[in-house]
Amino acid sequence: MKLRIAIQKSGRLNEDSVKLLRECGIDFSGPNGKLKAEASNFPLELLFLRDDDIPQYVADGVADAGIVGENVLIEKRKNVQVKNKLGFGKCRLSIAVDKSFPYTGIHDLNNLRIATSYPVILGQYLSSKNISADIHEISGSVEIAPGIGLADAICDLVSSGSTLLINGLKEADVILKSEAVLIANDRLSETKNKLLDRLLFRIESLKKARNAKYILLNAPNDSLGDIVRILPGMKSPTILPLAEPGWSSVHSVVNENDFWEIIESLKANGAQGILVVPIEKMIL
């Protein structure tokens, strides 16, 4: 029995999806233009598909799981479970207008023509705001629609914002924020669920490690009490004596978000020779 997981064949999510699975220790070749690949060291088969097709394949059970942007998942309205947010493919779905448009709020869009590849999400958003606009569904190059007179505004994905800028547009309203997610069919067999749990466990370990740093420092023994209070660690810090009397080496794990504050108070409390090392995987 193998777990079948669908990932994007080529495009913005392909590389990170492949990298994630490889970092989970799963070995496979591809895509190389192929539709399928088998992992050599985990009961897993990969399907390489267009991102738009992934929610349907997972909902139908052709694939057991898949990696897709939340934007596509919501637009396709398929009944699947979201198992994990993956932290890559981040973008937002926004409404944009010509930069000269004196935009003051969503009501300015009343009765305008808006071009988008996301008619479902846009339609729901506008009706939730009681706006009636004419939604033009187009499948690509949405950003050129205002310039060629096809629409007055667009609704499209934005990440850096440079596509809007190049096309003389400005972001007017953010409808949703999106990132890649791992989805799964909601009727998986017990065996497949166990395989999926093994994969999710590995993904969680990578995600935890991503925000954590291993820290090593030297400190005089009389400041160890303060330093241990600053550095809680996984359980508590490791303390090893240095060859030089009166000094110890302290090892711990810190969260990236609090990182600089922790370093500052460590220094203020006498820590020296601070080394910070990335952690590859973290099993709690």
Largest CA distance in the chain: 79
Q: Who contacts 180 (Cβ-Cβ below 8 Å, separation ≥6)?
A: 13, 16, 17, 67, 68, 69, 70, 85, 86, 87, 88, 89
Does 152 sit near Zn ion (CB under 5 A)? no
C-alpha–C-alpha distance, residues 256 and 251, integer Å:
16
Choose, by CB under 5 A, the member of 52, 171, 204, 226 that binds Zn ion.
52
- C-alpha to C-alpha distances, 237 to 115, 213, 216, 251, nearest whole angstrom: 56, 13, 10, 6
Instruction: Mark out the alpha helices in the chain (DSSP H runs).
Output: 14-23, 54-60, 70-76, 119-128, 162-166, 190-210, 224-230, 259-268
Q: Per CB under 6 A, does 116 bind ligand PRT? A: no
Which of 167, 178, 185, 248 is the binder for ligand PRT (CB under 6 A)?
178
Which parts of 135-164 interact with ligand PRT (CB under 6 A)? 143, 156-163
Q: Which residues does residue 217 pair with via DSSP β-bridges, in sequence order?
A: 250
Q: Which residue is nearest to Zn ion (CB)?
A: 52
> DSSP states of 170-226 as a string?
EEEEEEEEE-EEEEE-TT--HHHHHHHHHHHHHHHHHHHHHTEEEEEEEEEGGGHHH
Interface with ligand PRT includes 13 (CB under 6 A)?
Answer: yes
The residue within the footprint of ligand PRT, chosen from 20, 57, 71, 266 (CB under 6 A), is 71
In the range 180-209, which residues lie near ligand PRT by CB under 6 A? none
The residue from 21, 44, 74, 91 that contacts ligand PRT (CB under 6 A) is: 91
Q: Judged by CB, which is closer to ligand PRT: 64, or 143? A: 143
- Could you tell me the smallest distance in angstroms from the CB atom of residue 15 to ligand PRT? 10
Name 151's Cβ contacts closer than 8 Å, sequence gap at least 6.
Answer: 112, 113, 114, 115, 136, 145
Using CB under 6 A as the binding criterion, the count of chain residues that bind ligand PRT stands at 22
Which CB atom, from 115 or from 266, has the smaller least distance to ligand PRT? 115
Count, residues in the chain: 284
Residue 109 binds which of Zn ion, ligand PRT, none (CB < 5-8 A, kind-dependent):
none
Binding of residue 52 to ligand PRT (CB under 6 A): yes
By CB under 6 A, tell whether 168 contacts ligand PRT.
Answer: no
32/111 with CB nearer ligand PRT: 32
Residues in contact with Zn ion by the rule CB under 5 A: 51-52
Residues in contact with ligand PRT by the rule CB under 6 A: 8, 11-13, 50-52, 69, 71-72, 89, 91, 143, 156-163, 178
